[in-house]
Homo-oligomer: A and B are copies of this chain.
Amino acid sequence: MDSYSTFQQEFDLSMEALCRRILERHQATIRVRKAETAVANLARIIETTLVLSNRNGFHPMSLRDLSEQSGLSMGALYSYFDSKDTLLLMILGQVVDAIGLVLTAPDVAAGDPLARLRALMARHVYLTEAMGPWFVFAFMEAKAFGKQGRAMAVESELWTEALLRDVIADGINTGRFRPVDPTMAAALIKPMLQDWYVKRAKYRKRGVEPDAFVAVLVDMVGNMLLA
C-alpha cells in the first residue's frame, strides 16, 4: 500500500507536470505564449539538459550541443530562457518546489515515531527515484550558481534534516528511541537517503528496487535508534 507505485499515483512528477510548474514560475521570461507548445518544448529542453549535464557537467555543455540534441534552434532556446544561468535556475527551482510539495504533504505526521520516520524516508526515496536526474543535477551543480545556488542547496538540506530530527526527537521523548543526539542522527540518515540518487547506477546494477532500499533503510535505522 505504502509503496512506490502508490506514491506515483499520489504525486504527478511526470516531465510534463514538472514543466507546467516551471512555465508558471517563469512566465515573465518565457516568450512563447501557447502553453501546450511551451510545455512540450520545455520538456525537450530540460530532458536534454539533464542528460548532457549529468554526463559532463552543466558548464561544459554548450548551447549548441543543447540545440543539436534537443532539436530546437539557438533562437528557439532563447524563447524559453534569457540566459544559460536562468536554465539552471529553472531546474534547481523545480527541485526545491517538488521537495516542498512531497515532504510537507499530509499523513507523514501520523502514527508512532518509527512509522513516521519510515514514511518520511520512503517519501524521500520515492521522490528522488521519480526525479533522479533532477536531484543529481541539483546536487552537482548547485555551486555553479554562486552564492544564491549554494544557499538554496544548504537551506533545502537543513530543512529536510530538520524534518528527520523532529521525528527522532519525538521518538526519544516518548521513550521509543535511545537517547541519541537527534541532530547527529538526522545528519547521518540524510546522506544514506541521498545515496539513493547520487549512486543510483550502483543500486540498479545490483538489482535493488526503491522499496527494497526503503526496507533495508528502515531495518538499519530502526536498529540504530530503537531503545
Contact = CB atoms under 8 A, between A and B. Distances in A.
Interface of A: 54-57, 59-60, 140, 143-144, 146, 154, 157-158, 178, 180-181, 183-185, 187-188, 190-192, 194-195, 198-199, 202-203, 206, 208, 216-217, 219-220, 223-225
Contact of A59 (B55, B59, B187, B217): B59
A181 B55 contact: no
A59 B202 CA distance: 26
A184 B216 contact: yes
Contacts of A223: 178, 223-225
A188 B195 contact: yes
A83 B147 CA distance: 29
What is the oligomeric copy number? Answer: 2
Contact of A157 (B158, B178, B199, B206): B199
Nearest to A215: B184
